[in-house]
Amino acid sequence: MNTPTRPSSALTVQRKPGSKTSTAMKPSALTPEDKALRAAFEAAYEREISQSSHGATPQAALHAAAIACRETLARRWAATQQADAARGDKAPVRRVHYLSMEFLMGRALSNALAALKLTAPLEAKLAEQGLALGDVLEREPDAALGNGGLGRLAACFLDSFAELELPSFGYGLRYRYGTFAQVISQGRQLEQPDDWTRNAPDWELPRHDLRYHVGFGGRVEVDASGVRRWQPAESIEAEAFDFVVPAHYSQRVSTLRQWQATAAPIAFKPFCEGDYTRAARHQVLADSINWVLYPDDSTEAGRELRLKQEAFLVSASLQDLVARHLREFGSLHNLGKTNAIHLNDTHPALAPAELMRLLLDEHGLGWDEAWKICCQAVAYTNHTLMPEALETWPVRMFEHLLPRHLEIIYEINHRFLEELQQRFPGDNALAARVSLIDEGSHGGERRVRMASLALVASHRVNGVAALHSELMVQTIFADYARIWPGRFHNVTNGVTPRRWLQQANPALSSLLDSRIGDGWRKNLAELGELSALAGNRELGEEFLAVKRANKERLAGVIRRELGLAVNVDSLFDIQIKRIHEYKRQLLNLLHVISRYQAIRDNPDANWVPRTVIIAGKAASAYQMAKSIVRLAHDVARVINSDPRVGDKLKLVFLPNYSVTLAESIIPAADLSEQISTAGTEASGTGNMKFGMNGAVTIGTWDGANIEMAEAMGVENMFVFGLRADAVAKIKQLGYDPKLYVEENRQLKRVIDAISAGVFSNGDTERYRSLVDSLLGRDVYLLMADFADYVATQAKVDQLFADRAAWAERALRNIAGMGPFSSDRTIAEYVDRVWSVKSLT
């Protein structure tokens, strides 16, 4: 097996006497099949590059390499589909259809080259043309198909689908602009379209023969036989584009099938009359479905577009599923026993209603059989404990856009409430709480509860970390857990080590190979063997050398992007995730300000140098989050220009966070900030990526932090703050954040500095609402956790000052990451949710 190409700053690790031999460190003998693959790749590359009108430029080389890889992947895709179709109806695992509004894929070419063992041949070809591999790979834009942890989790799952040879399709939308490109102007976040497809290589496989009609609006009519038929007022065509994800250790691939909305040709009569706007209006409406992920829902038009996107995804995907199933089996009666439909959070929760519509209206099944099939097929993963994140839609909007679906939801609800009345007679309060229709808690407006629809129709429902799953059945879904106690379970998230360790950190990967062998690359649990070696001083020094090289690489990115020089021997303290109050980037900033004030007071003290790095996007309509972004820049401007501070403290905000940026940041991290208020983070996957790369975590007892601490030993994590039960209790008793400020002089000084305009050029109004929120409500208990957070950061300083002790702690973090592979996560889904036995 070939080692992935190392970045120029990575170290070549020498194998020590007595260490394990690694096949990953030695050139593996090429099989005849490998040789044939390389020859085909090189021929395809030469053909494509010869057709470039500009010659062998980095951009031309990128496109040529992508097309050459795509040809191999297309053949593997066809072989995979043929194998899956031949499985028959006795296979123990059902074909999985994973519905998600986002898939944060990142760059594709480097992953494909590594999986196909084509990195070295391409590097040689490029060298002949005077090109460097790194320069070519840098030309590929990140596929802007996702936003944050939800989308990156889905991308990791596609990797594991291929690796575990799971019959599957991921289904998403082919966004043109993703969320947005984040631009910082005078400290403020501005949003610009991220037109990633403009210079993207020819990577996808268009499926022009796969088109399905998706309707909106209109009315429901009853034919002579009493069958209800939906007559949409608007019909949009969904065209398929396949994004192929290869396995690294087999010839299997997985498929992300993305839907592109297209409209009928222009209306010719208005065009001839010169009314070009009216002639093309329906095309603009269709195009808008693929413009942006999560359009701003602060307007009615934005909310309606979101619902149309979700309906478009669900309808096209389920029509594709049904058509494939009929080709393979000729009958729909066994659809639920051979297919799993998995809802990645609440966005695709319309799936049960659409599946029922297809089975009832299009294929003539009776209600009881259709509902049985639906419940067999559908399963739901919840990703949040926040009630406001559980989508609800006005009934009037359903009546306008999806009238037939609303009828079906009413019927599902009627039958569900009838069953509930039999089981819990007279409990009208329970019925009101679990009904699929909220009759008026939103200012008197009736709304459809989408999470409730997913819960009622699913045969299995899971959370994504042990604490999250426990709190889920105690809080937001307590009534449903009482009705169906056996329906709920936990599957803790995981991440793919192929991208987040092998490719992102090749020097560390080689070091691991030299000490414990390369078996961890296929079975991450083998990282546990590192635990016995964690105290080895020589290994510790090698690890720190690898870490320093990665920090130099990130320092180069910071210098290039921001013109700021940072000390690579300082502690790299990193928090990268979407900007949100519950993620508590603001708590991080409060500590930075406190540290700055302490350094100003005593600059000659023996300070442990620290570089604090933050990256993430705030939702365009989320004003508090955007205020936090601005505060970060204001604080950075003051600290980074203060000569009395120098290299003792730097604050960096890296703009336009992406998968590619994360691949540079995570390997360089010394300290990983996972500081959400206990009980608010469902799981987290960034915490796993950081731990896998040898960062030590400072975090609350929340989400997957808990299981990580248990896996590595809680003494190897810096844990602080109130726990979830204490958070609930303090809120119940009546939380007054001002008391914590008044009792803590250090905290009061920080708040006073922000209020006085110390970081805003004397502008005392800029952060008034932010300070008022902290002192008045402080929903996420920053004031309550501040003192313990600062005290724990002092312990971080103390450990970092001891190089050997820090290296041992970091190595123990890596050793504990075995359970957090997405391969383990998917294996658990297969066993409990997607296998045929899960239906019994």
Show which residues are catalytic.
Answer: 383, 577-578, 583, 685, 689
Tokens of 365: 């099944």
Q: Using DSSP, state whether 649 is helix, strand or coil.
A: strand
Separation of alpha carbons 124 and 121, rounded Å: 5
Separation of alpha carbons 503 and 73, rounded Å: 19
Contact 332, 370 (CB under 8 A): no
Contact 307, 393 (CB under 8 A): yes
Contact 62, 140 (CB under 8 A): yes
Q: Using DSSP, state whether 519 is helix, strand or coil.
A: helix
Separation of alpha carbons 399 and 494, rounded Å: 40
Separation of alpha carbons 146 and 433, rounded Å: 33
Separation of alpha carbons 252 and 535, rounded Å: 39
Q: Quote helix, strand, coil % in the chain, to nearest 5.
A: 55, 15, 30
Contact 800, 670 (CB under 8 A): yes
Separation of alpha carbons 317 and 351, rounded Å: 9
Separation of alpha carbons 721 and 784, rounded Å: 8
Whole-angstrom CA distances from 378 to 32, 372, 397, 839 are: 44, 10, 25, 11
Residue 694, Cβ density class (10 Å: 0-12 exposed, 13-18 middle, ≥19 buried): buried
CB atoms within 10 A of CB 835: 16
Whole-angstrom CA distances from 498 to 152, 324, 689, 707 are: 14, 31, 11, 22
Rounded to 10 degrees, the C-alpha dihedral 476/482/483/485 comes to 100
SS (H, E, C) 421-449: HHHCCCCHHHHHHHCCEEEEEECCEEEEE
Whole-angstrom CA distances from 438 to 107, 422, 445, 452, 482 are: 42, 21, 8, 10, 19
- HSE-up (13 A, CA, CB side) for residue 724: 21
Beta-bridge mates of residue 546: none
Separation of alpha carbons 372 and 385, rounded Å: 29
Beta-bridge mates of residue 673: 698
Contact 635, 627 (CB under 8 A): no
CB atoms within 10 A of CB 755: 17
Separation of alpha carbons 121 and 139, rounded Å: 19
Contact 46, 69 (CB under 8 A): no
- Per the listing, tokens 């991208």 go with 499
Closest among 423, 490, 481 to 455, alpha carbons compared: 481
Where do the H-state alpha helices sit in 330-443? 335-338, 351-357, 367-377, 395-401, 403-423, 428-434
Separation of alpha carbons 738 and 772, rounded Å: 10
- Specify the DSSP class assigned to residue 777: T
Long-range contacts of 304-308 (CB under 8 A, 24+ apart): 304/397, 304/401, 307/393, 307/397, 307/401, 307/402, 308/216, 308/401
Neighbouring residues of 300: CB distance < 8 A, sequence distance ≥ 6: none
In residues, how long is the chain? 840
Q: Using DSSP, state whether 225 is helix, strand or coil.
A: coil
